[in-house]
Amino acid sequence: MKKNILILLGLLSTSWVMASGGGSYMGEKAHTNIRSVDSLRNGAKTFMNYCMGCHSMNFQRYNRVAEDLGLTEDEMMESLVLTNAKFSDKMEIAMTPDQGNKWFGKAPPDLTVIAKARGVDWLYNFLINFYVDPTTPTGWNNLTFENASMPHILWELQGIRTAEFEVHQDEKGNEHKEFKSFETVQAGLMSEQEYKDTVRDLVNFLDYSAEPAKLIRMSYAPWVLIFLAVFTLLAYLLKVNYFRDVH
Ligand code: HEC
């Protein structure tokens, strides 16, 4: 028993460390809402426009997404599918992992279940915290995922920013960079709020794709609560009835 509790505590603390991102910058929460179909549709659109050049979603199919997001085949194929893929196809891409490794130094991973691996808050922060850094191969760096080999794909929307750091020295003489602020050097097509909303929708879509059944589960939730309330009432009435003659 004691051993089990120790194992449980160990698991909890590891998942806490993983969830906290091992020290990566997490300035804001994502506040996604998987029940908002508009948000999911908008996120799907951004994903297919901007991300599928490099990232596949191999465990997801176009027709499944259309069904879950309430889109007809025509709506899906006309406004969302940009390649010559078929409606029933998996959301695959042409780039092979070998090409990805060659072109970017690291193959862009499949993103079907990335929200399970990273969590929505991490994804949100990753996508809003790119800045210009002339010392990296892509010319970009990221506060949340330092030295990532992914360039800032959405820079036109967000604009171009540099980051200011303060360098501290600890007692041992080691240098630590502390993030101070961003400075916009070129405005984007969107305001800061519009950009954040776009990223929130995109992350919402990634969250849905990691577990499409979540939509169904969430739609059951009110019924489960109603059932519990009715059941509690019945149990209470039964108790009152049983104890009526007990003095
Ligand atoms: C030009 C190619 C390219 C495009 C387009 C692109 N990415 Fe990436 N992405 C990469 C590469 C390369 C990596 C690997 C980075 C690394 O591990 O250093 C990556 C990594 C990621 C990761 C981190 C995965 C992990 O946990 O290691 C996420 C999340 C991600 N991309 C999301 C997106 C989203 C969302 C979009 C669309 C807005 C997008 N990417 C568009 C190339 C791309």
With 60 as the cut, is the pLDDT of residue 109 above it?
Answer: yes
How many Å lie between the centroid of ligand 1 and the Cα of residue 126?
10
- For residue 64, CA distances in Å to 6, 79, 87, 88, 114 come to 42, 16, 9, 8, 18
Tell which wins on pLDDT, 10 or 142.
142
pLDDT of residue 9: 60
15 within some domain: no
Average pLDDT over residues 66-79: 96
Whether ligand 1 lies within 6 angstroms of the CB of 182 is answered as no
Using most ligand atoms within 8 A of CB, pick from 42, 47, 51, 55 the residue to mutate for ligand 1: 55
Tell me which residue has tokens 């970017």: 104
Domain count, the chain: 2
With 50 as the cut, is the pLDDT of residue 149 above it?
Answer: yes
18 within some domain: no
The reply to whether 117 and 238 lie within a common domain is no
230 within some domain: yes
With 60 as the cut, is the pLDDT of residue 1 above it?
Answer: no
Of all protein residues, the one whose alpha carbon is nearest to atom 38 of ligand 1 is 51
The reply to whether 182 and 118 lie within a common domain is yes
3 within some domain: no
Kindly report the CA angle at 74 between 65 and 215, in degrees rounded to 5? 20
Please report, for the domain that includes residue 44, its CATH number: 1.10.760.10
8 within some domain: no
Tell which wins on pLDDT, 218 or 164.
164
With 50 as the cut, is the pLDDT of residue 144 above it?
Answer: yes
The reply to whether 72 and 127 lie within a common domain is yes
Q: Where are the alpha helices (DSSP H) in 47-104?
A: 62-68, 73-75, 97-104
With 60 as the cut, is the pLDDT of residue 15 above it?
Answer: no
The reply to whether 187 and 242 lie within a common domain is no
16 within some domain: no
The reply to whether 113 and 196 lie within a common domain is yes
Whether ligand 1 lies within 6 angstroms of the CB of 200 is answered as no
pLDDT of residue 125: 98
pLDDT of residue 24: 79
With 80 as the cut, is the pLDDT of residue 16 above it?
Answer: no
How many Å lie between the centroid of ligand 1 and the Cα of residue 132?
16
pTM: 0.84
11 within some domain: no
pLDDT one-digit tens code per residue, 198-229: 999 999 999 999 999 988 888 888 899 999 99
pLDDT of residue 145: 96
Domain that holds residue 100: 23-211
The reply to whether 111 and 128 lie within a common domain is yes
Nearest Cα neighbor of 121 from 31, 22, 17 is 31
Whether ligand 1 lies within 6 angstroms of the CB of 188 is answered as no
Backbone angles phi, psi at 45, to 5 degrees: -65, -45
The reply to whether 132 and 168 lie within a common domain is yes
The reply to whether 73 and 115 lie within a common domain is yes
56 within some domain: yes
